[in-house]
Structure 1
Amino acid sequence: MKKEPCASPAPVASGLAGGRGLRADAERNRERILDAAREVFAEQGLEASTNEVARRSGVGVATLFRRFPTRDDLVGAVFADKMADYSAATEQALANPDPWAGFCGFIERVCQMQAGDRGFADVLTMTFPNAKALEAERDRSAHALTEVIDRAKASGRLRADFVHQDVPLILMANAGVINATRSAAPEAWRRVVGYLLQAFAADAAHPLPAPPSRGQVYRALMRLSDAAPASIAQ
C-alpha cells in the first residue's frame, strides 16, 4: 500500500500560535497597567492605591502583581521616560551658552515637571534602590548637574556656597508647595521658585547655615521612599 506523506502535527502548530497569543495578551496587559498607573500616579502621587491602577487598567490585582511584583518595579517602568526627560533637562542646561541661564532654566524646568505630575514630584524626592534603570538614569543626570552647578558658579552668577545637595532640598520644598496648593492655587509654585532663584544669585548672597551632607540627603530620600508601601499588592 502506498504511504501518504506525513503532515505536520496539528497540536504543535496550535501550541505555537497559542504561545504567541499569550505573549501578545501579556504585553497588552502590561501596557494597560502602565497607562493606568501613569494616570493614577499623576493625579494622586505614589501613595495611590494599586487597586485603583488595576481597576482603570481593566486587569485583576493578581495580574498586576505578576507583572510588577514590587512598587519599585512599577515606579521604574512608569517613570522611565520622565527620568529620561529629567536627564535631558541637564543636557539642555549644559548646552546653554549662558551658564546662569542654563542653571535657572534647569531649576524651572524640573519644578514644572513636578507640578505637571504629582507622581513624578514624589519620584524626584525619593530613591528606589531596586529600580536599577531608574536610579542609573538619575545617577547620570547627577553627574551632568554637577557640571551645570560648577559652570554657573564659575560665571560668577551663582552663589559660591550652593552645593549639589541643595537641589533635592529645592525639589522637596517645591513638592510640598505643589501638594498643598494644587487645587486652590496650582501656579503658586512658580512664585516660590522665583524667590529661590533670586536667593541663589551671587549678588544676593548672605551667609547660610551649613548644608546637609550627601549622606544625610540620601537617608532623607530613603526615608521618604520607605514611608510608602514596598509591595504593590494592596
Structure 2
Amino acid sequence: MTSADDPGSPADRQPGPGLRADAERNRERILAAARRLYASHGLGVSMACIAREAGVGKATLSRRFATREELVNAVFADRMDAYAAATAEALADPDPWHGFVGYVQAVCAMQATDRGFADVLAMTFPAAKTLEARRDEAYNGFLELIARAKASGHLREDFTDRDMVVLLMANAGVIAATGNAAPDTWRRLVGQMLRAWAAPGADLPPLNPAPAPTALYRAMVRLARTASGREADME
C-alpha cells in the first residue's frame, strides 16, 4: 500500500495540482512535527526522528528540506520575527533602562517556552539566511538599546553585548537541566543577572524566589539521568 509520503507514490511522480497539494500537506506535517520535537527536546533531534514523527519517508523530508538549516529556518521564522519585535518594542520604550530589562526578560521567556528556540538563540546557522538576517536586525537594535541604557546611567558601563550571549547560553542550560522539576528557575537566573548588570540606583523588578530544595534535587536527578542516557547512547 502506498501513500503520498512514499518515495514511489504517484503523488511524488506525477506533476499537477494533486502533487502540489500533497507536497504542501507533507511540508506542513514536517514543520508541525519539527516544532513539537524541537520545542520539547531541542535541536539535537535527528532528521530521521522528525520524518517518523511527521509520518513521512526520509526521501520526502529531504525533498522538502534538503538540510537541517533549511528546516530550522522554516520552523523558527515566526519566532525570530517575535525576537526582532521584542527589540523594537524595547527601543520604543521611553525609559531606556525599563526597555532593556523588558527585552532581557522577554527573550529569556521565549527560550523557556521552546527548547528549540533556546538552542537557536545560542547558536548560529550561516546557511539559514533569513533566520540570520532577522537575528542581525535584532542584534543591531540591541546594540542601540545598550547604548541608551548606559546613557541613562542605569546600565553598568562594563556591560557588553557578549554578556547577553553568555546569559542566553546559561539560560538554555538551566532550562534544559531543570525541565518540569523546577520550571521557574530561569526567572531567578535572569533576575540575578539583571542585578549584576545594573548600575547603583537602577530600579529592578522583584527577584523570583530560589527553587525549593526538593524541586532543585529533582532537577539534579533529572539532569544526571539525562546525562547517563546520553552516555549510554554513545557506547
Are residues 1:151 and 2:148 paired? yes
Q: Which has the higher contact order (CA 8 A, sep 6+)?
A: 1
Are residues 1:84 and 2:81 paired? yes
Deviation at 1:55, TM superposition (A): 1.9
Deviation at 1:57, TM superposition (A): 1.3
* RMSD across aligned positions (CA): 1.5
Rg larger in 1 or in 2?
1
Give the Cα separation in 2 of the matches to 1:151 and 1:28. Answer: 46
Deviation at 1:183, TM superposition (A): 2.9
Are residues 1:176 and 2:173 paired? yes
Q: TM-score, normalised by structure 1?
A: 0.78
Are residues 1:70 and 2:67 paired? yes
Give the Cα separation in 1 of the matches to 2:15 and 2:73. Answer: 30
In the alignment, what sits opposite 2:158?
161
- Residues 102-181 of structure 1: matches in 2 within 5 Å? 102-181=99-178
CA contact (8 A) 2:122 2:168 kept: yes
Structure 1: any 5+ residue segments left out of the alignment? 1-16, 206-234
Give the Cα separation in 1 of the matches to 2:69 and 2:40. Answer: 19
Structure 2: any 5+ residue segments left out of the alignment? 1-13, 203-235
The count of aligned residue pairs is 189
Cα deviations by residue, 1:57-105 (Å, 9 ceiling, x for unpaired): 1211110011111111110110000011000000010011111110001
Deviation beyond 3 Å, 4+ runs, structure 1? none
Q: TM-score, normalised by structure 2?
A: 0.78
In the alignment, what sits opposite 1:228?
none
In the alignment, what sits opposite 1:23?
20
Give the Cα separation in 1 of the matches to 2:121 and 2:84. Answer: 12
In the alignment, what sits opposite 2:96?
99
Distance 1:21 1:173, change over 3 A: same
Identity of aligned residues (%): 62
Give the Cα separation in 2 of the matches to 1:68 and 1:142. Answer: 27
Are residues 1:48 and 2:14 paired? no
CA contact (8 A) 1:33 1:64 kept: yes
Give the Cα separation in 2 of the matches to 1:193 and 1:18. Answer: 53
Deviation at 1:204, TM superposition (A): 7.9
